[in-house]
A and B are shown apart, each in its own frame.
Chain A
Amino acid sequence: KQEVTQIPAALSVPEGENLVLNCSFTDSAIYNLQWFRQDPGKGLTSLLLIQSSQREQTSGRLNASLDKSSGRSTLYIAASQPGDSATYLCAVNEGGATNKLIFGTGTLLAVQP
């Protein structure tokens, strides 16, 4: 059974710092991995999607990497801003006939001004 874990559970950094969020999964047979942002009481905003054949994806100040064989992904946020404060979730797509997403435990990020 696929299990997705995120470390750390919570992180507080001063504005301007670069930071790394970690995601690990137990079964490397995935189709893709996605990073989401969730603001309090809100739905999900997709940030980056990495296909299983890819190593990384970039969007603006965000860079996500994927090492499928070791079951790990990282989300790098450059020059963090207070507006980046949110919960960040990673999710693996097991593919096949189901297209199910298995979500990680989340990292609550607070960027202090």
Chain B
Amino acid sequence: GAVVSQHPSWVICKSGTSVKIECRSLDFQATTMFWYRQFPKQSLMLMATSNEGSKATYEQGVEKDKFLINHASLTLSTLTVTSAHPEDSSFYICSALKGTRSTDTQYFGPGTRLTVL
């Protein structure tokens, strides 16, 4: 199997606080993980590519100082939304690449619903 988990599944926080979201590959090692954001009734937008042991690669328009990504092990990547504001409220989904080739499959987590009050 290829199972990816996310924690928490939902979180509500006050404006100005920081929130950490975890993404774990449960039964395989993932050198590369991806973080996506999905606004209501919209598609997934790639935020950043997380590589184990190195700095994340951010997509254009994504603030690296606001969305901190750490990929400290082959089974865990974390996304920290710093000084969250209501406009950061969204559905955050991670995926983990099983393999290292371009044709390998990404396995997706169940998502984390973030609501910033």
Contact = CB atoms under 8 A, between A and B. Distances in A.
B89 interface: no
B43 interface: yes
A51 to B, nearest CB: 6
A101 B34 contact: yes
Interface residues of A, number: 26
Contacts of A46: 105, 107-108
B108 A43 contact: yes
Contact of B102 (A31, A34, A41, A104): A31
A31 B105 CA distance: 11
Contacts of A75: none
B113 interface: yes
Interface string A83-105: 00000010101011111111111
Given A31-B102, A49-B105, A99-B32, A41 B43 contact: no
Nearest to A51: B103
A44 B4 CA distance: 11
Interface in A29-81: 31-32, 34, 36, 41-44, 46, 49, 51
Nearest to A52: B103
Contacts of B45: 103
B93 interface: yes
Contact of B43 (A42, A51, A97, A104): A104
Interface string B71-87: 00000000000000000
A59 B25 CA distance: 25
B97 to A, nearest CB: 6
Given A99-B106, A106-B43, 12 more contacts: A31-B102, A41-B91, A41-B113, A42-B111, A43-B6, A46-B108, A93-B102, A95-B103, A98-B49, A100-B49, A102-B46, A104-B43
Interface of A: 31-32, 34, 36, 41-44, 46, 49, 51, 89, 91, 93, 95-106
Interface of B: 6, 32, 34, 36, 42-46, 49, 57, 91, 93, 95, 97, 101-111, 113
